[in-house]
């Protein structure tokens, strides 16, 4: 069976490669495509064992440009992706639409209850979402029982299950004891018209004055300016291994969800200063469980860091989550392939 992975954002790289490695054991062949956005391509160049096609790019904050870019990419994908039997993506409309158009099967993974699942829900064959998201929310978006499986964990568990810390990782950093700071994603769909002001300039300054060593991971060029003339701030010139960076950090502070959830799943103190109007259901669950601290108040964040402690986590829970998901995925693929063979 030939499986197509379409990777459209940086957090999807580790996730989809973890799925790929398990499916490769089954003897399938693969196609990879990726959108040029953030560190997605650099991470794939470093981690993907197969060739991949770069198709499309990010189109900034303009909603109109995003929509036009989506359809422009679909046209290019249709021209550049060869034959396949099944697509797997993190809710990539392009992959799901093309699968439907060619009468192929598609499987989508997601963890964002506020994303526009309705744009692909009627076209996909099956979806996987965490139980932290209320089923009724997903049902309203068109994901009924016959095409939905909710697993007891988080998408980050899927790739953290096989994580082995690199004992030499700290050699590439200028200090052993540090915290990570990752800015808000100012170009994300949930931030419109510059209505949200970043807290990162104030946060970096306060952390520097307090004497923390900071590994700063800017998204865009403007983010770099926030760290100018500050002491104890290190900006890696090339993408670093985010999982190892989280594992060895004293704490992880981020304006988006994935890095905070990775840290939280590892037991590392995680702080979210997410800038959207409403937190995702998965993040609400982690905050409720005490895995993540949320605030956009710099003074409250610094107060939290004074007493924050690492939780014990041998990642055994992540291994159980991955086992559950992969067993269900194998079952779904076998069922979809059977339908294909009998059609």
User: What digits encode the pLDDT tens for the residues 296-334?
Assistant: 999 999 999 999 999 987 799 999 999 999 999 999 999
| Distance from chain centroid for Cα 39 | 12
Residues 97, 130, single domain; the answer is yes
> What are the φ/ψ torsions at residue 2 (nearest 5 degrees)?
-100, 120
Where residue 47 sits, what CATH number does that domain have? 3.40.50.2000
Residues in the chain: 343
187 vs 37, which has greater pLDDT?
37
Residues 70, 190, single domain; the answer is no
Residues 138, 199, single domain; the answer is no
> What are the φ/ψ torsions at residue 296 (nearest 5 degrees)?
-115, 20
pLDDT of residue 66: 65
User: What digits encode the pLDDT tens for the residues 132-143?
Assistant: 999 999 999 999
pLDDT of residue 340: 47
With beta carbons less than 8 A apart as the criterion, state whether 50 and 32 touch. yes
Residues 155, 12, single domain; the answer is yes
Q: How is residue 318 annotated by DSSP?
A: H
Query: What tokens appear for 147 in the block?
Result: 């095409």
Mean pLDDT for all residues in the chain: 91
Containing structural domain, residue 250: 169-307
Q: What is the mean pLDDT of residues 259-279?
A: 94
pLDDT of residue 308: 96
Q: Is there a domain that residue 177 lies in?
A: yes
| Distance from chain centroid for Cα 237 | 21
223, pLDDT greater than 50: yes
Return the C-alpha torsion angle 34, 38, 39, 42, nearest 10: 50
Q: Is there a domain that residue 312 lies in?
A: no
With beta carbons less than 8 A apart as the criterion, state whether 120 and 101 touch. no
User: What digits encode the pLDDT tens for the residues 95-105?
Assistant: 999 999 999 99
Residues 195, 300, single domain; the answer is yes
Residues 144, 177, single domain; the answer is no
Closest by Cα among 140, 248, 116, 260 to 189:
116
> Residue 341 — very low, low, confident or very high, per pLDDT cuts 50/70/90?
very low
The number of folded domains in the chain is: 2
Q: How is residue 216 annotated by DSSP?
A: E
User: What digits encode the pLDDT tens for the residues 173-205?
Assistant: 999 999 999 999 866 555 554 567 899 999 999
Residues 220, 335, single domain; the answer is no
Residues 65, 149, single domain; the answer is yes
Greatest Cα pair distance, the chain, in angstroms, is: 67
59, pLDDT greater than 60: no
């Amino acid at each position: 069976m030939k499986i197509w992975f379409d990777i459209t954002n940086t957090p999807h790289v580790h996730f989809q490669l973890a799925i790929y490695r398990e499916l490769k054991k089954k003897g399938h062949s693969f196609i990879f495509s990726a959108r040029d956005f953030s560190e997605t391509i650099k991470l794939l160049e470093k981690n993907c064992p197969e060739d991949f096609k770069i198709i499309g790019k990010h189109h900034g904050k303009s909603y109109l440009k995003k929509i036009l870019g989506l359809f422009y990419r679909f046209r290019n994908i249709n021209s550049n992706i060869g034959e396949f039997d099944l697509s797997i993506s993190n809710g990539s409309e392009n992959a799901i639409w093309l699968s439907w158009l060619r009468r192929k099967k598609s499987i989508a993974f997601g963890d964002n209850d506020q994303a526009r699942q309705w744009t692909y829900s009627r076209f996909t064959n099956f979806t996987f979402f965490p139980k932290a998201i209320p089923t009724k929310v997903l049902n309203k978006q068109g994901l009924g029982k016959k095409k939905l499986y909710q697993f007891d964990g988080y998408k980050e568990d899927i790739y953290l299950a096989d994580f082995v810390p690199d004992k030499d990782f700290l050699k590439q950093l200028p200090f052993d004891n540090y915290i990570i700071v990752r800015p808000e994603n100012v170009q994300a769909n949930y931030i419109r018209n510059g209505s949200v002001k970043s807290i990162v300039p104030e946060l970096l300054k306060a952390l520097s004055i307090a004497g923390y060593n900071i590994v700063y991971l800017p998204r865009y060029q403007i983010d770099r300016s926030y760290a100018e003339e500050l002491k104890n701030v290190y900006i890696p010139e090339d993408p670093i291994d985010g999982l190892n960076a989280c594992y060895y950090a004293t704490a992880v502070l981020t304006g988006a969800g994935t890095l905070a959830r990775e840290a939280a799943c590892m037991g590392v103190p995680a702080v979210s200063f997410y800038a959207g109007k409403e937190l995702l259901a998965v993040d609400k669950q982690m905050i409720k469980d005490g895995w993540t601290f949320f605030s956009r108040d710099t003074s409250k964040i610094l107060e939290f860091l004074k007493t924050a402690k690492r939780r014990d986590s041998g990642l055994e829970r992540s291994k159980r989550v991955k086992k559950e998901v992969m067993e269900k995925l194998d079952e779904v693929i076998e069922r979809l392939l059977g339908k294909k063979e009998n059609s």
